[in-house]
């Protein structure tokens, strides 16, 4: 297997991660450059349309979905996207999706919704936060998003969400972001609870449980705790500069851990372990969803995945412990 030996970082990036980055970039740029996506930018300039999932993380393969969130940042109510305009917007997104050769939108398009930025902010912590999928929209915006169209609206969306988490800061210097840390940990627990709920309520889901378990052990855990590790890595004395959180949004998960490894050599062993195990997962799942389910239906493959998942989790725990122990925030991860 080819590797990128990164000078000054003390780690080797497995080829699978580099290949996935290249595929993700090509597919995203193709979607952005489609005539329908360009028309979307012109017709709905106030709407941030951003890609999440494996393509958003820079880890997409040839079978990856185009996971989409839409957030309207228009302040004036009469100028916001209404029901009819929303139908036109979704129709264009379906065309972008089909033209790019992506699988059909999940849930028969049930997640194609235009949220408003005020709702994304206002319902934080309420039961509507989860019910309306606003919590997920907010977390994925910070952890794994890339703008598809509406670049200015996307930047405004990111700014307002970070403003929300920084609202108790007294000035523009460092700030202890316990609010954001709590939401990141809460999101991980929400993912775990959602997995258990699906297993109990959907008999068809039980047949697919093996792949779902491994996604939770690898890509879901990577998503949340990679972001948390990078956030903690930005601590200076007793807080984090706002600019560090802005950079968290800009960087892919791979680039975050590469930056951590370069600046904190004591983390290189755990980061190398993470990359090795995650690379195995990406290669094992580089197939259609049905094919992946069939692959892990074989006990030997599933057992190897579970064992590697345990190692992956151990490496992530070591990374977090190494970073958090250098800050005054470690106890907030527990209490």
In the predicted model, is pLDDT for residue 1 greater than 90? no
CATH number of this structure's domain 1-165, picked from the four choices 2.60.120, 1.10.3470, 3.30.460, 1.10.150:
3.30.460
Global pTM reads: 0.93
Q: Which two tokens stand for residue 43?
A: 């017709």
Q: Which two tokens stand for residue 30?
A: 């193709």
Span 254-277, mean pLDDT? 97
Per-residue model confidence as pLDDT tens digits over 54-90: 999 999 999 999 999 999 999 999 999 999 999 999 9
pLDDT at 207: 63
Tell me the torsion sign for CA atoms 6, 270, 184, 163: negative
The confidence band for 283, taking pLDDT boundaries of 50, 70 and 90, is: very high
Q: Which two tokens stand for residue 248?
A: 């968290």
Give residue limits of the domains in the chain: 1-165, 170-335
- The CA–CA distances, whole Å, from 213 to 75, 104, 199, 293 equal 41, 23, 10, 11
In the predicted model, is pLDDT for residue 266 greater than 50? yes
């Amino acid at each position: 297997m080819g590797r990128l030996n990164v000078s000054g970082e003390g780690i080797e990036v497995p080829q699978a991660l580099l290949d996935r980055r290249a595929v993700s970039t090509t597919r995203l740029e193709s979607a952005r450059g489609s005539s329908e996506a360009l028309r979307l930018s012109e017709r709905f300039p106030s709407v941030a349309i951003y890609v999440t999932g494996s393509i958003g993380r820079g880890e997409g393969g040839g079978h990856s979905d185009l996971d989409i969130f839409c957030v309207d940042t228009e302040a004036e109510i009469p100028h916001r996207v209404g029901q009819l305009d929303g139908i036109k917007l979704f129709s264009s997104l379906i065309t972008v999706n089909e033209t790019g050769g992506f699988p059909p939108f999940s849930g028969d398009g049930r997640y194609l919704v235009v949220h408003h930025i005020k709702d994304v902010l206002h319902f934080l912590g309420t039961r509507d936060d989860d019910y309306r999928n606003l919590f997920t929209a907010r977390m994925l915006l910070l952890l794994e998003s890339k703008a598809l169209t509406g670049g200015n609206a996307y930047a405004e969306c990111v700014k307002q969400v970070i403003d929300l988490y920084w609202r108790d800061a007294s000035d523009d210097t460092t700030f202890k972001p316990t609010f954001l840390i709590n939401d990141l940990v809460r999101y991980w627990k929400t993912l775990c609870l959602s997995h258990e709920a699906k297993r109990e309520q959907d008999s068809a889901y039980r047949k697919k449980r093996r792949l779902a378990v491994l996604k939770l052990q690898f890509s879901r855990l990577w998503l949340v705790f990679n972001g948390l590790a990078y956030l903690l890595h930005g601590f200076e004395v007793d807080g984090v500069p706002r600019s560090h959180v802005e950079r968290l949004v800009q960087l892919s998960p791979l680039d975050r851990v590469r930056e951590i490894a370069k600046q904190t050599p004591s983390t290189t062993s755990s980061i190398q372990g993470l990359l090795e195990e995650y690379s195995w997962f990406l290669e094992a799942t580089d197939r259609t969803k049905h094919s992946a389910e069939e692959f892990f239906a074989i006990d030997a493959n599933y057992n190897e995945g579970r064992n590697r998942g345990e190692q992956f989790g151990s490496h992530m725990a070591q990374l977090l412990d190494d970073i958090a122990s250098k800050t005054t925030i470690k106890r907030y991860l527990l209490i």
